[in-house]
Structure 1
């Protein structure tokens, strides 16, 4: 039995459409600014201070004001993820390949509460370590507030 040309075309177009829909997801690029003053008036912040991402997304820390760096906090990355460390006033980006919580600090302003949280995936396996982490009070308060905003 032969299909006519119109039916063949319609079938091919439909299959192509569904192949596109079921193809790999496009990764996102998420930008986090390093600021002396955030939009909420707080001093020395990453903005946004917490983001949700998916595996494969690129996270980019961009210095908007001079004097900031971004450094991953020891023990507060998903297992097997190498340390991420930038230099003062330098952009840093990485691909978040593993699910989990990633916690970052600005070394010169950590005591002033300059921390950032990136949650990759839905249920970070290292969440307890993040919640129990010891850090300066202002940093701990900001991190706790951001965890709450994300419903963690």
Structure 2
């Protein structure tokens, strides 16, 4: 019943032009361990707004690999960042301050049209991870 209601709500929102706002928390500790975005994988619709909220100090958020035509973002440490996902594809982002702990996240908007490029960008990040090296694969495995 819940999934039917969610599907109906998403269909209504898409057909009426209403976009959703999603909040992603920047945390020192979350369900995936230390230094995480929560949720770390998010499925959003084209036109939705993403709000990154530093609920713990010393976090930032920067886009790493985004779909062609999308607007990149870079936030200051400890500051909230809001961006709109305007293009279909996969958005990979990081907390630059905590990249050695693999503080990364993935947003999927519609079809993953740029998944190969995102995977290449992710592979370039792997040597920078001192720990939690499995996170990137875990999050990208949810992209369908």
Instruction: Pick from 128, 131, 134 the counterpart of residue 119 of structure 2.
Output: 131
TM-score, length-normalised on structure 2? 0.81
CA positional deviation for 1:142: 0.9
* 2:18 is equivalent to residue 26 of structure 1: yes
Deviating above 6 A after TM superposition, structure 1's stretches of 4 or more consecutive aligned residues are none
Q: What residue in structure 2 maps to residue 5 of structure 1?
A: none
Instruction: Pick from 72, 78, 88 the counterpart of residue 67 of structure 2.
Output: 78
After the TM superposition, which residues 1-150 of structure 1 pair with which residues of structure 2 at under 5 Å, given as runs? Answer: 23-40=15-32, 42-73=33-64, 76-121=65-110, 123-133=111-121, 134-136=124-126, 137=129, 138=131, 141-148=134-141, 150=142
Measure, in 2, the Cα distance between the counterparts of 1:55 and 1:23: 12
Aligned-pair Cα RMSD in Å = 2.0
Larger radius of gyration: 1
Unaligned 5+ segments in structure 2 are 1-11
Q: What count of residue pairs does the alignment treat as equivalent? A: 128
Unaligned 5+ segments in structure 1 are 1-19
TM-score, length-normalised on structure 1? 0.77
CA positional deviation for 1:39: 2.8
